[in-house]
Structure 1
């Protein structure tokens, strides 16, 4: 009886810890890695007495979020609008242009080489010209985002649309499918994985384009805050703005990944079957 009574508290403790252990096991490994890096960063800054104007501790950056959040959030919305609107315009330009390249010999030979050649021009060199033409408003920022992000969309869309085998196209035509039905039912579904690969690459480039545009000339946005904080040697504020930029990029990327799962359900089923 004594042994049974001694094991009962242990069993009760194990039952109480079970939900906590279940939650901890569900945390991704990347989160634990990030926590470990932040703890190492905090310990190194404190033990080595690193000056705050060189490398602030994560706790100092968190304090900056609390103290300066009223400025970070509105400027983050400005940058997010530039990214989302510019990316949307790049998609509306890039995907139809890729379709035109695949279906038109004239555009393929006359326009496609010029698109490829245009990527050798640094967009930072074009930015001052855009400011001269469009001023310091929202327009030049969106144009730079479009110029940076539409190229991977075009290239990957062209590759995906061309990846449909000749046998598949001949089969569609032999079944009486029209040109539109062949595109909509055969070429486009087969090209979607490649198109989404280009879109996900363009998400990162669109964020970079917005920040580069704000570096060149802006009076609001996260890039503008980074420049102002740098001139005041406020490195903690710079880190806070950089973290906001990273969060925007991650949210944008994972949102697009969710759209991809919805748009290509058959790919998800094939992945599950291959893992099984």
Structure 2
């Protein structure tokens, strides 16, 4: 297979990714074994691999994994409903957009995780606090990219809609929204990244359920191999989410 055919192959990126990951793991193993990396800070990947069975069997990993997934799904639903709706509202009402867009952009850069004591006062030490923290962290990215996507609709498409005498509602659903979908999904994925970081981070901080609490427990026991194994499950949550979101994006784009 020549280079051009390999570049067009769907399996090539997957194989390259797997090979890169394997090379990175092998490099880390060599660096730890040779003493260039302190094994009391970074455990050998072989130890991490052996810790998976222990973490799965002894730490109730499935229940913790499902709890974190449930919290992330709740964040995703809230982001999709409120983020896209608010972004659409700001796009439609220009004076409201001019009054608030700068504040939304500022909120995107704010370290919202530091507000967890306030959220605990409001919602208590519960999963609701974790979900709301993730939702607030991811909301600005979804709002901003929704505004950007709707504002970036090509003028020629709008002219075509006006030539067919489409109503404002039809113009939105048949032209603006389908045109903005790629940008909206980019914002949605960014929002999910921020939400997942905050979900696991707040679980860690308030020591309440999920994979974040497991990482906290293992770190306090100085079980480095187990801690890194638990972090791998957090990465698995992220991978699962992005696979589903990309599939849904492809389906919705075709349907639109």
Provide the TM-score with structure 1 as the length reference. Answer: 0.81
* Alignment-derived partner of residue 45 in structure 1: 32
Structure 2 unaligned regions, length at least 5: 1-10
- Measured at CA, do residues 177 and 25 of structure 1 come closer, stay the same or move farther in structure 2, by a change above 3 Å? closer
What secondary structure is seen at the aligned counterpart in 2 of 1:96? helix
Q: How far apart are 1:96 and its partner, in Å?
A: 0.7
Q: Is the 8 A contact 1:64 1:237 kept in 2?
A: yes
Q: Does 1:64 align with 2:51?
A: yes
Q: Is the 8 A contact 1:52 1:236 kept in 2?
A: no
Deviations 1:189-212 (A, max 9, x none): 110111111112222212101012
Q: How far apart are 1:115 and its partner, in Å?
A: 2.3
Q: Is the 8 A contact 1:82 1:138 kept in 2?
A: yes
* Alignment-derived partner of residue 77 in structure 2: 88
Q: How far apart are 1:87 and its partner, in Å?
A: 1.7
- Measured at CA, do residues 263 and 25 of structure 1 come closer, stay the same or move farther in structure 2, by a change above 3 Å? closer
Inter-partner Cα distance in structure 2 for 1:235 and 1:217? 21
Q: Does 1:36 align with 2:14?
A: no
Deviations 1:153-208 (A, max 9, x none): 11111111011133432331221111111001110111011111111222221210
Q: How far apart are 1:218 and its partner, in Å?
A: 2.8
- Measured at CA, do residues 177 and 237 of structure 1 come closer, stay the same or move farther in structure 2, by a change above 3 Å? same
Q: Is the 8 A contact 2:75 2:195 kept in 1?
A: yes
- Measured at CA, do residues 132 and 157 of structure 1 come closer, stay the same or move farther in structure 2, by a change above 3 Å? same
Q: Equivalences for 1:142-153 in 2 at 5 Å? A: 142-153=131-142
* Larger-Rg structure: 1
Q: How far apart are 1:119 and its partner, in Å?
A: 3.3
Judge which range, 27-36 or 96-105, deviates more: 27-36
> How many residues are treated as equivalent by the alignment?
244
Q: Equivalences for 1:191-230 in 2 at 5 Å? A: 191-230=180-219
What secondary structure is seen at the aligned counterpart in 2 of 1:28? helix
Q: Is the 8 A contact 1:136 1:218 kept in 2?
A: no
Inter-partner Cα distance in structure 2 for 1:116 and 1:96? 17
Match of 2:151 among 140, 150, 162: 162
Match of 1:132 among 121, 124, 130: 121
- Measured at CA, do residues 262 and 110 of structure 1 come closer, stay the same or move farther in structure 2, by a change above 3 Å? same
- Measured at CA, do residues 233 and 139 of structure 1 come closer, stay the same or move farther in structure 2, by a change above 3 Å? same
Inter-partner Cα distance in structure 2 for 1:56 and 1:227? 17
Match of 1:263 among 215, 229, 252: 252
Inter-partner Cα distance in structure 1 for 2:229 and 2:221? 15
How large is the Cα RMSD of the aligned pairs?
Answer: 2.3
Q: How far apart are 1:57 and its partner, in Å?
A: 1.7
Q: Is the 8 A contact 1:52 1:235 kept in 2?
A: no
Structure 1 unaligned regions, length at least 5: 1-23, 268-276
What secondary structure is seen at the aligned counterpart in 1 of 2:251? helix
Inter-partner Cα distance in structure 1 for 2:14 and 2:163? 52
Q: How far apart are 1:79 and its partner, in Å?
A: 1.2
